């Protein structure tokens, strides 16, 4: 059985007091469940967040990593630094990093390889833009994004990888992919992995959906066979909404 995961990507939101408050609210309202809950606050608050979640069920993860181990890279944060404060999972390939910081497939592959070598698990994000959806080329785009990156890994690496399908046109727009649209891509991705590696790897990798997930649409999306939870942006900033979305997995 694949693990159900709900991860909150806080992006560049929340200062110190909001970080502490939101984590406390989450801890008070999360009931026991089989869903793995993750949150990705900003770098300056990661250590506080790790301390604040304590031994509970929430994992604190990073929104990004640098593609070098250490050295003269002013303003950057390394995997070893994150590991040293108890952060052992990171997002890689978020569409905002691709769009605003020119992160291409070659750089993302470098980050993936370095993360895996350094005992850092990965949530790898991919997804097509609106123009790709409109021109019906979204299967090709998604396939290429995966072939240039995670499909180049050793089969053994897949135990440390979660995928997140985030169609760019659905991120922060209020326009969600329908449950059928999400399922269609998730199944397609699983088939690609099965052809490339094995049905066992394809069956075991969790694939999350991200893009305007809200309490009102989460149940329908999460009920789909190949959707194993969500990567949540805006709604993860509100404890009530985030908890409702987590419960939608039950």
Q: Which residue is nearest to ligand 13P (CB)?
A: 233
Given 59, 96, 128, 166, the catalytic residue: 166
State which residue, 149 or 212, has the beta carbon closest to ligand 13P: 212
State which residue, 50 or 168, has the beta carbon closest to ligand 13P: 168
Please state the closest distance from residue 218 (CB atom) to ligand 13P, in A: 11
**Where on the chain is the footprint of ligand 13P (CB under 6 A)?**
9, 94, 166, 171-172, 210-213, 231-235
Please state the closest distance from residue 123 (CB atom) to ligand 13P, in A: 9
Please state the closest distance from residue 176 (CB atom) to ligand 13P, in A: 8
Given 59, 94, 128, 186, the catalytic residue: 94
Does the annotation count 94 as an active-site position? yes
Please state the closest distance from residue 172 (CB atom) to ligand 13P, in A: 4
Instruction: For residue 110, give Cα distances in angstroms to 77, 102, 161.
Output: 15, 14, 15
Does the annotation count 147 as an active-site position? no
State which residue, 103 or 166, has the beta carbon closest to ligand 13P: 166
Residues 78, 79, 82, 83: what is their CA dihedral angle, to the nearest 10 degrees? -140
State which residue, 41 or 210, has the beta carbon closest to ligand 13P: 210
Instruction: For residue 2, give Cα distances in angstroms to 5, 122, 170, 191.
Output: 9, 16, 25, 16
Active site residues: 94, 166
């Amino acid at each position: 059985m694949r693990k159900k995961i709900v991860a909150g990507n806080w992006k560049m939101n929340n200062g110190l007091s909001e970080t502490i408050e939101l984590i406390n609210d989450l801890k008070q309202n999360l009931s026991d469940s089989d869903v793995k809950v993750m949150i990705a606050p900003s770098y300056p608050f990661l250590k506080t967040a790790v301390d604040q979640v304590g031994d509970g069920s929430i994992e604190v993860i990073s929104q990004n990593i640098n593609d070098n181990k250490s050295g003269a890279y002013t303003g950057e944060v390394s995997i070893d630094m994150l590991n040293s404060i108890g952060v052992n999972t990171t997002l890689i390939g978020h569409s905002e990093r691709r769009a605003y910081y020119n992160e291409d497939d070659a750089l993302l592959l470098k980050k993936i390889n370095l993360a895996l070598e350094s005992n850092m698990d990965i949530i790898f994000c991919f997804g097509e833009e609106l123009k790709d959806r409109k021109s019906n080329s979204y299967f090709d785009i998604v396939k290429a994004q995966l072939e240039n990156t995670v499909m180049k890994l050793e089969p053994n690496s897949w135990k440390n990888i979660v995928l997140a399908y985030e169609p760019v046109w659905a991120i922060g727009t209020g326009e969600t992919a329908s449950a059928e649209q999400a399922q269609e891509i998730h199944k397609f991705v699983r088939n690609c992995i099965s052809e490339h590696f094995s049905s066992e790897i394809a069956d075991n990798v969790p694939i999350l959906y991200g893009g305007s997930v809200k309490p009102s649409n989460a149940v329908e999306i999460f009920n789909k066979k190949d959707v194993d939870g969500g990567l949540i942006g805006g709604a993860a900033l509100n404890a009530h909404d985030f908890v409702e979305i987590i419960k939608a997995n039950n």
